[in-house]
Amino acid sequence: MNMANLQKTQFIPLISALVILVASVGCIPPDHWPSYEQSLTQTILEEIPTSQSEQKGIDSPPVQITPDKVQTENSLSLSLGQALVMALESNSGLRVEKYNPVLANLSEEIERGRFDPELFSELSYARDRTQEKDTDTSTWGRAGEQSHNALIGLSQKLPSGTDIEVGVAHIIDNTFQGPEEQKLRMGMTVTQSLLRGYGPLVNLASIRQAQLNTAATIYELRGITEALLADTETAYWDHVLARQEIDIFENSLDIAKKQLSEVEQRIEIGTLPPIESAAAKVEVALREQALINAKSKFEESRLRLLFFIHQGREGHYDLQIQTTSTAVSEPETIVIPADHLKLADQSRSDLQEARLRMKQNRLEIVKTRNGILPRLDLFISLGKTGYADSFSDSFKAMTDSTYDLSAGIMFSRTLGSRSARAKDSAARVTLKQAQEALENMRQIIQRDIRIALNDLDRVRQQIAATRVTRMHQQESLKAEQERFEAGTSTGLIVAQAQRDLLAAHILEKEAIIDYNKALVKLYLAEGSLLERRGVHTASFLSEPLP
């Protein structure tokens, strides 16, 4: 048999061994340490409230959000709920932010992957040709050896700081002077960290941080969604007010024109002097100016609202919007401020996110504190080897009393440990900074809620006050018109009364809209806007990403 055929024959048992070992390793169930993972996941689920609408302080019914809307070629009939749905569906910035929780969740999988078992294998061939001197004949002759090595194994890192490696190696040694030898070794090596890297607390800290980061990104997305809904609702009420102001100015312009016509008729018949027409003409001109400004304001509010509900769509700025929702005009009594403050402490997205970030910082201290410790590892290696002249006999030889055992301790330490100590100090300073920032945020939130409640109480009282003022102005205008008819008043005084009534109308409408906008600010400040508008974060995140 020539050398090439000999090598092919020698590789047959090696390949056979690899096939058998791969098949057997594939049946080994990896240890995924379910007890650690389950406890961490359960903790996260307990930290994130699933339904904040059940918390105390949210007692008003949510706005009914339905996607149905009536749209013609150039007109769109739109309720507040429909506007909010369209904003959630079309806002490109919100779609971008929805990827962050997905990416954060994938980071969890990356961290968990550090504990996945690893299959490794090695196949090598070595040949060495030399010459040796025969001690009996003192002549030089050909010498050398060749070897075939096959290795396959499985390694696993555990959260306890334990590294386990099991493997099977098959070695064929063939020399020119002696017979072929084959060895089959099965062994296992266990290395346990005793100081640095010891225990699940430090080894699972990165996974815990990744889970906290996922929860924080969900709160961040919630905050962005709340801000989007608040801006959309504010734009909707601004558009409602702009439409009402146009109606008021158009009506006042008609009245002014009618008044001018009556004055001119009376001047023509001689009951009024010609100078009386000047005041009436000025009033018509002022009404026309106000109507121009009102139409410009209406167009601006239309464009702003369309931006939120039709962002990125071609030709959407040509649509005319017909609002169908009516603003609340009968305010309710303000509840106790303490209820809103308590609700904000439980519901504010930025506050919850800050608390999660602070927990991440605490876990970072766990890691840096462990990093200061020296490296002290205990290792044990145990193997069983079978020696024979053939591959099959090497398996049988495993029953012999041959074995190898090694154990020991490895120690290493960085002198000074300046880098590790600096990282630990930085982590502690970062935690202290996060604690101060959290307390500052709580104070700002309390201030914002009290300001929002004060503003809400102000506009609530303004609604009643402006309604009374408007009623008195109507009576005052009626009285002046009667005096004008009787000849005891002038057109200028009547025009001033009309102006006062117009201003009272506008102030009343503004007070009602301001009350509805103040409610939005309060709900946003206390973190309950999503629930009050019927939007739930869990279902919102479950929507398929584009």
Reported pTM: 0.76
Q: What is the pLDDT of residues 324-346, one digit of tens each?
A: 998 887 777 666 888 899 999 99
Predicted local confidence at residue 42, as pLDDT: 44
Task: Answer for the pair 259, 495: CB distance below 8 angstroms, yes or no.
Answer: yes
Cα–Cα distance, 93 to 349 (Å, whole number): 18
Q: What is the DSSP string of 387-421?
A: EESSHHHHHHGGGSS--EEEEEEEEE--SS-HHHH
Average predicted confidence (pLDDT) for the chain: 81
Read off the pLDDT of each residue in 461-483 and give the average, rounded to a whole number: 89
Predicted local confidence at residue 365, as pLDDT: 94
Of 338, 246, 358, the residue nearest 292 (C-alpha) = 246
Read off the pLDDT of each residue in 364-385 and give the average, rounded to a whole number: 92
Distances (CA, A) of 464 to 239, 455, 472, 475: 23, 15, 13, 17
Of 522, 502, 443, the residue nearest 290 (C-alpha) = 502
Read off the pLDDT of each residue in 94-105 and give the average, rounded to a whole number: 89
Task: Answer for the pair 149, 174: CB distance below 8 angstroms, yes or no.
Answer: no
Cα–Cα distance, 422 to 414 (Å, whole number): 13
Please state, as a whole number, how many other Cβ atoms lie within 10 Å of the Cβ of residue 258.
12
Cα–Cα distance, 510 to 518 (Å, whole number): 12
| Secondary-structure percent of the chain, ordered helix, strand, coil, rounded to 5 | 60, 15, 20
Q: What is the pLDDT of residues 475-522, one digit of tens each?
A: 988 898 888 777 777 777 888 888 888 889 899 999 999 999 999 999
Assigned token pair, 225: 């969604």
Predicted local confidence at residue 70, as pLDDT: 53
Of 544, 539, 535, the residue nearest 226 (C-alpha) = 535
Name the helix (H) or strand (E) containing 183: strand 181-193
The gap from C-alpha 46 to its chain's centroid, in whole angstroms, comes to 18
Please state, as a whole number, how many other Cβ atoms lie within 10 Å of the Cβ of residue 194.
16
Q: What is the pLDDT of residues 166-185, one digit of tens each?
A: 999 888 887 766 677 788 88
Please state, as a whole number, how many other Cβ atoms lie within 10 Å of the Cβ of residue 188.
15
- Percent of the chain past pLDDT 90, that is, above it, reads 46
- Please state whether beta strands 375-388 and 181-193 pair in parallel, antiparallel, or not at all (unpaired): antiparallel
Paired strand residues for 382: 188, 405
Report the residue count for the chain. 546
Cα–Cα distance, 523 to 534 (Å, whole number): 13
Task: Answer for the pair 526, 336: CB distance below 8 angstroms, yes or no.
Answer: no
Q: Which of 15-19, 88-92, 206-210 has the highest mean pLDDT?
A: 206-210
Predicted local confidence at residue 74, as pLDDT: 79
Cα–Cα distance, 486 to 496 (Å, whole number): 18
Q: What is the pLDDT of residues 18-68, one digit of tens each?
A: 444 444 434 444 334 443 344 444 443 344 444 333 344 444 444 544 444
Per the model's pLDDT, the better-predicted residue between 264 and 234 turns out to be 234
Cα–Cα distance, 26 to 33 (Å, whole number): 19
Task: Answer for the pair 291, 250: CB distance below 8 angstroms, yes or no.
Answer: yes
